[in-house]
Amino acid sequence: QSFKLLGFLDVKSVPCARESVLYGSLGSFVVGLGHFLATSRVRRSCDFAVGGFICTMLGYWFYCRYNLAQHRIRQRMLKEGMRNKILFEGSSLDPERKQTGSERSDS
């Protein structure tokens, strides 16, 4: 059973969606309550709470997606490095292999 936010955002399967909604609701509560305690205006505090939800959710969404992209790039680079290590290990192209004088003259 999946939960779709606004009918199209599947919170369960989309990366960062669940955390963004949770942090957005927490931000909404904090901003709304803070504005209400400062001004005692209910309607205006609700407006601030909605704005706090949107700002917090979008802010955390971009932060989380950026970190996810960086993680995937590092994973891809590590995978490529491991594949190259296995492929070139023991050959003349191995960067860790110490070259002798005769091999250096061939290159």
pLDDT per residue of the chain (107 residues) written in tens, 0 to 9: 666 666 666 777 778 888 998 999 999 999 999 999 999 999 999 999 999 999 999 999 999 999 999 999 999 999 998 887 777 777 776 767 666 555 555 55
- The CB-side HSE value for 30 (13 A sphere, CA atoms) comes to 11
Task: Give bridge partners of residue 4 from the DSSP assignment.
Answer: 10
pLDDT at 84: 79
pLDDT at 59: 95
Phi, psi (deg, nearest 5) at residue 42:
-70, -50
pLDDT at 100: 57
Instruction: Determine contact, residues 30/52, Cβ cutoff 8 Å.
Output: yes
Model's pTM, two decimal places? Answer: 0.69
